[in-house]
Amino acid sequence: MGELLSIEDLTVSFGTSAGRVKALNNVSLTLNEGEVLCVVGESGSGKSTLALTIMGLLPHNTEISDGRIMYRDIDLLRAGADTMRDLRGREISLVFQDAQSALNPIESIGPQLEEAILAHSNVSLRGANQMAQDMLFEMGMADPKRVMGQFPFALSGGMCQRVMMAMALVMRPKLLIADEPTSGLDVTLQAEILHRIRDLVKEQNASVLLITHDMGVVAAMANTVGVIYAGNVVESAEVVPLFRRPQHPYTWSLLQALPRIDDPGRRIEPLPGTPPDMIKLPAECPFLPRCFKAQSQCRTDPKPKLVEIEGMHFVACYNPVVPEEDD
C-alpha cells in the first residue's frame, strides 16, 4: 500500500501574551492507504494541533516555521484556499473532539448536514436531505428525520457525536481525522463509533488518523502508532511491536499505567510529574524530569533525534528501555 499522508519535520507555534507556545517540534509521521495511524499522548501534547494543521484550520496567531504535509502529491501547507476548500469534507474529513461545540448551535442538524453534501456534490436539496437521513440511519439513529429537525442543544453528547461522524463520513472521504472520537462516551457508544471507523477502512479502503489518549483504543484500532510528548514524536512503530517492546520510557510508562486483564494482580504504576511548560521547552529531552532511565548524557546533550532501532521502529532516546525477551 502506498503513502496517502506524509508529515515531514512539522514545526508549529502559537503567539500568546506569555510567549510562543511550541506546539509541534519537527514532527514526522506517515499514514498508508487503508491503514489506521493512532497518535497518542497526554492532553496538551500537540495532538489536536496536528489535526488542525492538516486541515488548514489553525488560528491566525499560528506560525508554521518548518515542514510539509503531503496528501498524495499535494502539499497541504502550500495549497491554495480553493484547493483546501475542495479537499475538506470531500477527501479529508475531521471529527472534532467536542461535537456539541463543533456544531452550529443556532441551526438545526438537517441544514448542517445538507450544506456539507451540497458543497461537494451536484445533488439536489432533496437528494442531499435523503443522503443525510441515510447516513444518520447508518450511524444508528432510528428516526433520522426527527433528528434532522432538532438543534444541537436538544441532543445528548453521544447523539451529537453520531451527527459529527455522519457529517464526516457522508462524502466517503479517503482520509478521516478523528480527534478523540470516543472521549466522554459510554462504553457501548465507544464500541459503536470504533466499529463505524473500522467499516470505513474495510469498505472504502480509507485511511484514518486517530488521535487519542486511550491506549486500549490504540490496541484495538491501530496499524501503526506515533507517540507524542510535549510536541515531539518520541516513538513510532507498528502496533504489536510497540505494545510488546516499548522502547521510549514515556511509552513504557503509559503502558504501565494500564490495567491488564491477563494480569489482574499487577500493580498499576501512574506516571509521576507533569508535562513541561510548552513556552519554555528545554534544549535537552523534554521528558527528562519524569524519566526513570535518565543518565548524564540526557542532561548535557540536546534532545535526541528520532532514529530507527529495528525494522520500522523509531525512538528518540539516548537510553531506551531494554525490552524483556519474549517467552
Residues 211 and 298 in one domain: yes
Contact 121, 171 (CB under 8 A): yes
Q: pLDDT truncated to tens, each residue of the chain (327 aa)?
A: 689 999 999 999 999 999 999 999 999 999 999 999 999 999 889 999 999 999 999 999 999 999 999 999 999 999 999 999 999 989 999 998 888 888 999 999 999 999 999 989 899 999 999 999 999 998 888 899 999 999 999 998 888 989 999 999 999 999 999 999 888 778 888 888 898 899 889 888 999 999 998 888 999 999 999 999 999 999 999 999 999 999 999 999 999 888 777 777 777 888 889 999 999 999 999 999 999 999 999 999 999 999 999 889 999 999 999 765 544
Residues 183 and 37 in one domain: yes
Q: Which is it for strands 92-95 and 36-40: parallel, antiparallel or unpaired?
A: unpaired
Residue 139 cell numbers, joined: 450511524
Residue 137 cell numbers, joined: 440511519
- Does 223 reside within a domain? yes
Residues 188 and 148 in one domain: no
pLDDT for the residue 323: 63
Residues 200 and 251 in one domain: yes
Residues 158 and 223 in one domain: no
Residues 114 and 260 in one domain: no
- Does 298 reside within a domain? yes
Domain enclosing residue 143, as ranges: 101-172
Q: Which of 155, 172, 189 finishes a domain?
A: 172
Q: Which of 156, 172, 188 finishes a domain?
A: 172
Residues 165 and 139 in one domain: yes
Residues 219 and 287 in one domain: yes
- Does 126 reside within a domain? yes
The reported pTM is 0.92
Contact 182, 214 (CB under 8 A): yes
Residues 188 and 39 in one domain: yes
**What is the number of structural domains in the chain?**
2
Residues 189 and 139 in one domain: no
- Does 148 reside within a domain? yes
- Does 20 reside within a domain? no
Residues 168 and 178 in one domain: no
Residues 200 and 310 in one domain: yes
Distance CA 147, CA 154 (A): 9
- Does 4 reside within a domain? no
Q: Which of 145, 172, 199 finishes a domain?
A: 172
